[in-house]
C-alpha cells in the first residue's frame, strides 16, 4: 500500500512535467509559424552580395526588407528594392530565386535616358547625390511600360541593371530595403 501511495504522488508531478513540455512545444510551434508568416508577408533579412549599390550599400551589408508598403502604394522613385530577376536575366543564366537589389529610377509612364554623365527623367536631369560616380555610357530614351519599373544600381558604372536587361515587372519585386542592421558601425535607416 505504501508503494501505491508513492506512485500516486509521482503521477501529478509527472503530469505537470508533460503538460509543461507540451505547452513549450506548442509555444515553439507558434513562434516558428509566426516567424514564417512574418518572413513571407511582412519583412525578411537580406545580404548584399556585390558592390553595385556603392556608396549607399556595401558588399556584406545586411538589411531588413519590408513587404507591406507595396500593398498600400506602388514603389516610388528612389526606393531601393529587392527583386527576383526578370525573364531576360533568367535567360542569361541567373536563377529565378537569386535576389537583386537596385534603386527605382523610372516609374510607369516616365521616359528615362542617360547622356553626358546624367540620368534624365522626362527630359529633365535628376540630382543624384547617392551615386558612386556619374554614368559613363549613354542610353537612348526609353519609356517605362505600365506595371514595370526602371532600376539602376548606385554604382552606375558597375551595375547590371535596367540599362542592360530592360524593365522590372512589379510582380518580381520582393520588397523595399528599409534598415541596415549589419555592420553595427553603419546600422540605421536606409
Q: Starting from the edge strand earliest in sequence, which strands make up the sheet with 139-143, in order?
A: 124-125, 118-121, 111-115, 139-143
CA dist 52 → 92, 97, 160 (Å): 18, 19, 8
Q: For residue 5, indicate whether it is catalytic.
A: no
Distance CA 29, CA 38 (A): 14
Distance CA 172, CA 29 (A): 30
Query: Of 11, 59, 102, 113, which one is the catalytic site residue?
Result: 102
Distance CA 131, CA 102 (A): 12
Query: Of 52, 67, 159, 162, which one is the catalytic site residue?
Result: 52
Q: For residue 52, indicate whether it is catalytic.
A: yes
- Specify the long-range contacts of residues 44-47, CB closer than 8 Å, at least 24 apart: 44/174, 44/175, 45/181, 46/82, 46/99, 46/101, 46/177
User: Would you name the residues annotated as active-site residues?
Assistant: 52, 102
Amino acid at each position: 500500500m505504501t508503494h501505491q501511495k508513492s506512485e500516486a504522488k509521482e503521477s501529478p508531478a509527472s503530469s505537470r512535467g508533460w503538460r509543461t513540455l507540451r505547452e513549450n512545444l506548442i509555444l515553439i510551434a507558434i513562434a516558428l509559424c509566426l516567424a514564417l508568416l512574418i518572413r513571407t508577408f511582412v519583412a525578411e533579412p537580406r545580404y548584399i552580395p556585390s558592390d553595385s549599390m556603392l556608396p549607399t550599400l556595401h558588399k556584406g551589408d545586411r538589411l531588413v526588407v519590408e513587404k507591406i508598403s507595396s500593398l498600400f502604394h506602388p514603389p516610388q522613385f528612389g526606393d531601393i528594392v529587392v527583386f527576383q530577376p526578370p525573364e531576360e536575366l533568367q535567360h542569361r543564366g541567373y536563377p529565378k530565386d537569386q535576389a537583386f537589389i537596385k534603386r527605382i529610377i523610372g516609374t510607369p509612364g516616365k521616359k528615362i535616358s542617360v547622356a553626358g554623365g546624367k540620368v534624365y527623367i522626362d527630359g529633365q536631369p535628376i540630382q543624384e547625390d547617392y551615386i558612386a560616380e556619374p554614368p559613363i555610357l549613354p542610353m537612348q530614351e526609353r519609356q517605362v511600360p505600365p506595371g514595370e519599373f526602371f532600376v539602376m544600381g548606385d554604382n552606375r558604372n558597375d551595375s547590371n541593371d535596367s540599362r542592360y536587361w530592360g524593365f522590372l515587372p512589379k510582380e518580381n519585386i520582393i520588397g523595399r530595403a528599409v534598415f541596415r542592421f549589419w555592420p553595427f558601425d553603419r546600422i540605421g535607416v536606409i
